[in-house]
Chains A and B, each alone.
Chain A
Amino acid sequence: MIVDFVRITDSAVYHDVHRLYDPQGDSLFSKARMLRSSIMLAVSALECHRGGRRLFAGVGFCLGAGELLYLHGPNGAGKTSLLRMLCGLLPPAAGEICWHGRPIARLGEEYRRELCFLGHHDAIKEELTPFENLSLSARLAGMRLDEARVLEALSRLGLAGREDLPCRALSRGQKRRAALSRLAIDRRPLWLLDEPFTALDAAAVNEVAALIGAHLEDGGLAVLTTHQPVEITAGAIQRLALGDEAESCRR
């Protein structure tokens, strides 16, 4: 199923969703329960200001298990800001982000335990080897991994034989691969990926796309921004446009 451009501004749908999470009428109750089981991430009327300018307003979407959301938009449209809002690093100027019907600001750690964020920066320590980097980020995510699984994850991203080199000896793309190898071990339901495919070659792009596909098939959720046309063959794909594209879409 492909739903194109589900950006709905001030739409009744999101008000409904909002109300359904806080059920009052009996008639709504069964539907609310149904929705609560399928919709995991619900965002409504989100607004973002950066540097005194309004980047976007009235952004809303709902994401259920096994669904992928593509964020589109030109540079500076606020894709990264939206992702940082979704992971709770950036408080929204207005609007609400709910995880299982509860605002993420109130969930705090409980929410952070469920999410995996990959930003512009690789979060790779140059002094450490890919092996150490990966085992470390696994431990920070609360996972205890045996050596074999770490090595397997690294070799999936084509870093076999380089797991013991300090990362400063790796190329830009290899560092990105080392950062993305986290996806091969991560079992948390919500993935927020900011331009995961930059600096990767075609083989690595396919591998990462396969990882995302497998994650969706397992019932995970993913939100990703990318400028590259990448085939991900699993789950339901939603698209959300920010900035000028959204304007043209509305017209």
Chain B
Amino acid sequence: MILAVIARDLRLALRRRADLAAVLFFFVIVVSLFPLGVGPEPERLREIAPGVLWVAALLATLLSLPRLFADDFRDGTLEQLALAPLPLGLTVFAKVLAHWLVCGVPLAVLSPLLGLQFGLSGEALVVLSGALFIGTPALSGIGAIGAALTLGVRGGGVLVSLLILPLYTPVLIFGAGAVDAAVNGIGVEAHLSLLAALTLAGVFFAPWPAAAALRIALE
């Protein structure tokens, strides 16, 4: 049944490709603006690249979060999901996975291309993509809590940012840190391990508070 929820969300995302395109386009534009604004010195660009790419990925994820539950809430599907013979936490888990597949994975796939603009070396590009692969599930998981808490609230989008961005900082620090280490030729394993730990904790613990918030929203 978890698979049914994932398949459903993926199919819906495919039917609404414009949403996905908007998120990716935002990511590309924000990242591309930096070299234009900061100037073309390769040294400086290499220095800011990890931070810029990770912050842009964070913001792009944030952009896609409000719709995680809002559509289902509006048309009554969320009620049906809450009444399905499946713990709501697992349903949220499935939705988080689906969100990662349509948001996190494309960001990770796209990132090496954008990293080229900053003159990152081949190894750093691989680490960047890998770090995004490992770290973005945590973004989706933690984001689900924010999306669930702000469900049905006016101006929910702004509130999500206020709630969630502080929680994203550890992911940002270790994600950007991994790329930074790769740029400077230091070992990246420690950063990636911590990132993986954050992801595991985020993906497995976040669905439950999110489910509780959804139940309150549905009352």
Contact = CB atoms under 8 A, between A and B. Distances in A.
A121 B76 contact: yes
B101 interface: no
B33 interface: no
Given A128-B11, A128-B12, A123 B219 contact: no
A120 interface: yes
B79 A121 contact: yes
By DSSP majority rule, is chain B's interface helix, strand, loop, or mixed? helix
Interface centre among B74, B82, B84, B218 (most CB of A within 10 A): B84
Nearest to B3: A139
B87 A121 contact: no
A198 to B, nearest CB: 13
Contacts of B16: 127
Contacts, number: 66
A127 B15 contact: yes
Contacts of B12: 125, 127-128
Interface residues of A, number: 29
Interface stretch (A29-37, A38-46, A54-62, A110-118): A110-118
Contact of B1 (A132, A142, A166): A142
A144 to B, nearest CB: 10
20 contacts: A84-B219, A89-B79, A89-B82, A89-B215, A89-B219, A91-B219, A115-B83, A123-B80, A125-B75, A128-B12, A128-B15, A136-B4, A140-B1, A140-B84, A140-B86, A141-B85, A142-B1, A142-B84, A142-B85, A166-B15
Interface of B: 1, 4-5, 8, 11-12, 15-16, 74-77, 79-87, 215, 218-219
